[in-house]
Structure 1
Amino acid sequence: MNGKSILKTGTIDAEQVTEDLGYVRTLIANVILVGHPAGGDWVLVDTGLGPTVTALEEEVDRIYSRPPKAIILTHGHFDHVGGVITLAEKWNVPVYAHQLELPFLTGKQDYPPADPSVGGGLMARISPVYPHKAIDLGDRVKGLAEDGSVPFLPQWRWIHTPGHSPGHVSLFRDCDRTLIAGDAIITVKQESALAVVSQEVELHGPPAYFTSDWELAKASVLKLATLRPKLAITGHGQPVSGQVLQEGLEYLARHFDKVAVPEQGRYVD
């Protein structure tokens, strides 16, 4: 990518990818900033890990000097909602997620436990310690509109991309074919600690240890491939664009059963 790096520390790594699109890597997961820093409405997509919430808040304040209009959640796994309660309360902003994700965000239903047998890496093996209990945002969280519109982002639409979680969504801007994929696709082998550290870009399906419906995950990748995105920012890994993205996504879609679905596991069958 040609984005301008704006901060690199041991806690977070931030980059402005385009004039109105940036991301902050919070240890292992990305938080997306959508909107021009110079003015106008902007929205935070996901909130990363809980221990990084203070550093994330400081970086957001530095870039925008104003709170977002809302927080959009691609899904509710622990590494994407770690700071959401703190930030939503401090900024006094609403949180939006797919209707099917609301039980996990209102304390009504826990996610299925992680499967440490898939992926063959350290991140997968230690996944049983990752939180999978529901959080409770109460009436602060709202369901996304059924028409696909995204609050405060008129050029964007949300796309239901389940499999990694029931209400997982990705965001797409048709005018320049920009994709915020969440964990429907990622650009790092998240099961491997070495890959997470090196951040070498390669297209992968969703993190295997928390993916509970592989048929839906495959359908979601096929759906995203038909969009032919030119730029993608994913929930894990670095942004990817151009030929690398298009060829990688097409290959992943065609060979999903072979390259993404584990040979065995708690949720494979």
Structure 2
Amino acid sequence: MDQEHLDKLEQLEHDFDHALPEEVTRDVAYYRTILSNIIMIGGAPNEDWILIDTGLRRYKERILHACEERYGNKPPTAIILTHGHFDHTGSAKKLAEHWNVPIYIHEKEMDYVTGKKAYPPGDPTVGGGLVSLLSTLFPTKPEHLEGVVTALPDDGTLPHLKEWRYIETPGHTPGHISLFRESDRFLIAGGDAISTEKPESTWAMFFPIQHVYGPPAYFTQDWMAADKSVKTLAELEPDFVIAGHGLPMQGGFMKEELKKLADGFIDNAIPKHKRQ
């Protein structure tokens, strides 16, 4: 995304109230930025906590404000990134340096955040709204987190999160992960394994209508892998879901929507027109 569009997005964000966290359960909260969610795991105000994803670049101060509203001056013990796309990693380095904490990401995403690989460009042919049309402007180059990022363990465990495990949910990107806690069946559906708003549409950013959608089509690399990942998430039968885009969902309607997406993914989620 070029500087002009970043400036416009930042101005839109400043039109809202101050950045504030919204609690989903006692120890899970989120802050909804203009493009994506950042998620905080840990009870306020005294427990250790973890930050999941870091939004766009230039959002450091707003993210700090939201986190400090919940945890005061207590820094997280780590930052975990669900994947390396610009709207989930943009403020990672500055936040990690501010707090002096490590960043973790799946091994298969490491090349994309350490200067070795770039993601494919956005595909404006997938349709669905203005975000798809603008996707060719979105950054695909690495965030250059070398020296501050570490690969997650390969056994599904998460540093500092004993009750949680990560699940590989590739498709949107090769090393995309989701997080799951068995005790209350809470699913953090990665940054983009699924969405609870239509991710291709700018209208949905401001007027979200809750449904369970597939991953953002303009950036999804492997649709067959994405199909398998959604089926894996549906098989977990979560009671709570929060995705990287959209509002949290829970209960029977969410479960029906997730099952419907998993059962009909190929027919309903994969764009009829896309770059081959």
Q: TM-score range by the shorter chain?
A: over 0.9
Partner of residue 226 from structure 2, selected from 210, 214, 217: 217
Q: Which of 26-35 and 191-200 deviates more? A: 191-200
Name the amino acid aligned to 2:128.
Answer: G
**1:234 CA displacement:** 0.4
**1:120 CA displacement:** 2.8
Unaligned runs of at least 5 residues, structure 2: 1-14
Distance 1:85 1:178, change over 3 A: same
Judge conservation of contact 1:11–1:27 (CA < 8 Å) in 2. no
List aligned pairs for 1:146-225, cutoff 5 A.
146-182=154-190, 183-225=192-234
State the partner residue of 1:228: 237
List aligned pairs for 1:1-269, cutoff 5 A.
9-10=16-17, 12=19, 14-65=21-72, 66-182=74-190, 183-267=192-276
Cα deviation, 1:68-101, whole Å, max 9, x if unaligned, reads: 0000000010100110010011111110111000
Cα deviation, 1:226-253, whole Å, max 9, x if unaligned, reads: 0000001100000000111110000000
- State the Cα RMSD in Å: 1.3
Distance 1:11 1:236, change over 3 A: farther
Judge conservation of contact 2:110–2:151 (CA < 8 Å) in 1. yes
Structure 2 counterpart SS, 1:131: coil
Judge conservation of contact 2:20–2:65 (CA < 8 Å) in 1. no
Question: CA–CA distance in 1 between the matches of 2:18 and 2:196?
Answer: 20
Question: CA–CA distance in 1 between the matches of 2:35 and 2:268?
Answer: 22
**1:11 CA displacement:** 6.6
Distance 1:228 1:22, change over 3 A: same
Normalised to the residue count of structure 2, the TM-score between the two structures is 0.91
Question: CA–CA distance in 1 between the matches of 2:28 and 2:227?
Answer: 27
Name the amino acid aligned to 2:232.
Answer: K
Cα deviation, 1:152-186, whole Å, max 9, x if unaligned, reads: 01000000000000000000001110000121011
Unaligned runs of at least 5 residues, structure 1: 1-7
Question: CA–CA distance in 1 between the matches of 2:165 and 2:254?
Answer: 20
Cα deviation, 1:193-212, whole Å, max 9, x if unaligned, reads: 11222011110000000001
Judge conservation of contact 1:119–1:192 (CA < 8 Å) in 2. no
Question: CA–CA distance in 2 between the matches of 1:95 and 1:130?
Answer: 23
Question: CA–CA distance in 1 between the matches of 2:113 and 2:43?
Answer: 29
Judge conservation of contact 1:124–1:191 (CA < 8 Å) in 2. yes
Structure 2 counterpart SS, 1:150: coil
Normalised to the residue count of structure 1, the TM-score between the two structures is 0.94
**1:51 CA displacement:** 2.9
Question: CA–CA distance in 1 between the matches of 2:182 and 2:138?
Answer: 35
Q: Report % sequence identity.
A: 47
Judge conservation of contact 1:70–1:94 (CA < 8 Å) in 2. yes
Structure 1 counterpart SS, 2:118: coil
Distance 1:134 1:89, change over 3 A: same
Question: CA–CA distance in 2 between the matches of 1:13 and 1:234?
Answer: 18
State the partner residue of 1:4: none
Matched length: 260
